[in-house]
């Protein structure tokens, strides 16, 4: 049974800007809209932005607008949730629940480094599905538990059934994730637990041994991987936009 939830476009932009830690000043500059107009629009007091400006804002926040409104599959999305010691944890995660349709059918896992480290206050979760790649960084108080789970992200499931619902990765990839500098291929490698058998240092030594130059290797890479066949378009459960003002999200009620 469907429980239809309607979000105004300004509410969606507000939620995504918060998850991306973007303020109004930066949004106004990159979207090329007057700050005062943007503030009024975000508050819901006035519908004073052109549809093109709204679509520009959505693109900036990581949406692909070619066929409905879906997460851009050409990038890894990094969202941050701040659940400090005195935060209201229930409200902190509401935005993720409201955005659940974007991640319906995806799998969730916590990612930890292979070597244990001291408590840093941050925990890392991956959401992966059909062309969806999201890393959620949870900054939480010492005695709080991160609530990235199928109860919050409706329609998603755990990747693993182990006690902690977690996977490990090597120090290099974990550092790249913490620095928000993962390629889509690196994201998939972590999530699918594909171990690296050759490092970049190893490759450099092999190239020197056989007299290969960086240009030759780069040319081979471009010839081999430069042209990726476009996949057939399909419905990945994106958000439909209604007149540039209303966005519809459908959440399934859980038992």
Quote helix, strand, coil % in the chain, to nearest 5.
35, 25, 40
Tens of pLDDT, residue by residue over 91-132, are 889 999 999 989 999 999 999 988 776 666 799 999 999 889
What percent of the chain stands above pLDDT 70?
84
pLDDT value at residue 252: 39
Q: How many CB atoms lie within 10 A of CB 124?
A: 23
Tens of pLDDT, residue by residue over 155-214, are 999 998 877 899 999 988 999 999 999 999 999 999 999 877 677 777 888 888 888 888
pLDDT value at residue 249: 47
Tell me the average pLDDT across 47-70: 88
Q: How many CB atoms lie within 10 A of CB 27?
A: 22
Cα–Cα distance measured from residue 41 to residue 182, given in angstroms and rounded to the nearest whole number = 33
Taking a C-beta distance cutoff of 8 angstroms, is the pair 77, 92 a contact? no
**What are the tokens at 239?**
């958000």
Asked which of 66-70, 136-140, 179-183 is least confident by mean pLDDT, the reply is 66-70
pLDDT value at residue 230: 42
Q: How many CB atoms lie within 10 A of CB 206?
A: 12
pLDDT value at residue 47: 86
Task: Please state the domain extents for the chain.
Answer: 1-61, 72-194
Q: Which residues face 48 on adjacent strands?
A: none
Predicted TM-score of the model (pTM): 0.77
pLDDT value at residue 217: 84
**What are the tokens at 35?**
């700050």
Q: Mean pLDDT across the chain, nearest whole number?
A: 82
pLDDT value at residue 239: 54
Cα–Cα distance measured from residue 93 to residue 108, given in angstroms and rounded to the nearest whole number = 15
Asked which of 129-133, 144-148, 238-242 is least confident by mean pLDDT, the reply is 238-242
Higher pLDDT, 253 or 6: 6
Taking a C-beta distance cutoff of 8 angstroms, is the pair 108, 127 a contact? yes
Asked which of 50-54, 58-62, 224-228 is least confident by mean pLDDT, the reply is 224-228
SS3 65: coil
Q: Which residues contact 114 (CB under 8 A, 6 or more apart)?
A: 168, 169, 170, 171, 174
Residue 227 has pLDDT above 50, yes or no: yes
Closest CA to 8 of 254, 248, 227: 248
Higher pLDDT, 207 or 74: 74
pLDDT level of residue 237 (50, 70, 90 thresholds): low
Q: Which residues contact 226 (CB under 8 A, 6 or more apart)?
A: none
Write the CATH number of the domain with boundaries 1-61.
1.10.260.40
pLDDT value at residue 246: 42
Higher pLDDT, 178 or 220: 178
């Amino acid at each position: 049974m469907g429980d239809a939830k309607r979000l105004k476009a300004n509410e969606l932009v507000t939620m995504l800007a918060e998850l991306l830690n973007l303020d109004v000043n930066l949004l106004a500059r990159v979207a090329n809209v007057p700050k005062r107009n943007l503030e009024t629009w975000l508050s819901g007091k006035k519908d004073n932005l052109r549809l093109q400006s709204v679509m520009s804002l959505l693109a900036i926040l990581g949406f692909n607008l070619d066929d409905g409104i879906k997460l851009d599959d050409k990038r890894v999305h990094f969202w941050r949730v701040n659940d400090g010691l005195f935060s209201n944890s229930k409200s902190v995660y509401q935005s993720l629940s409201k955005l659940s349709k974007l991640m319906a059918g995806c799998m969730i896992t916590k990612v930890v480094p292979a070597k244990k480290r001291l408590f840093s206050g941050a925990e890392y979760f991956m959401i992966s599905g059909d062309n969806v790649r999201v890393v959620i960084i949870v900054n939480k108080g010492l005695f709080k538990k991160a609530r990235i789970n199928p109860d919050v992200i409706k329609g998603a499931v755990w990747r693993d059934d182990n006690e902690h619902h977690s996977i490990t990765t090597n120090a290099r990839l974990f550092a790249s994730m913490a620095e928000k500098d993962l390629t889509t291929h690196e994201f998939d490698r972590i999530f699918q637990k594909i171990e690296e058998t050759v490092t970049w240092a190893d490759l450099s030594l092999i190239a020197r041994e056989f007299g290969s130059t960086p240009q030759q290797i780069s040319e081979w890479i471009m010839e081999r991987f430069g042209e990726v066949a476009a996949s057939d378009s399909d419905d990945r459960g994106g958000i439909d936009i209604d007149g540039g003002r209303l966005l519809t999200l459908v959440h399934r009620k859980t038992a």
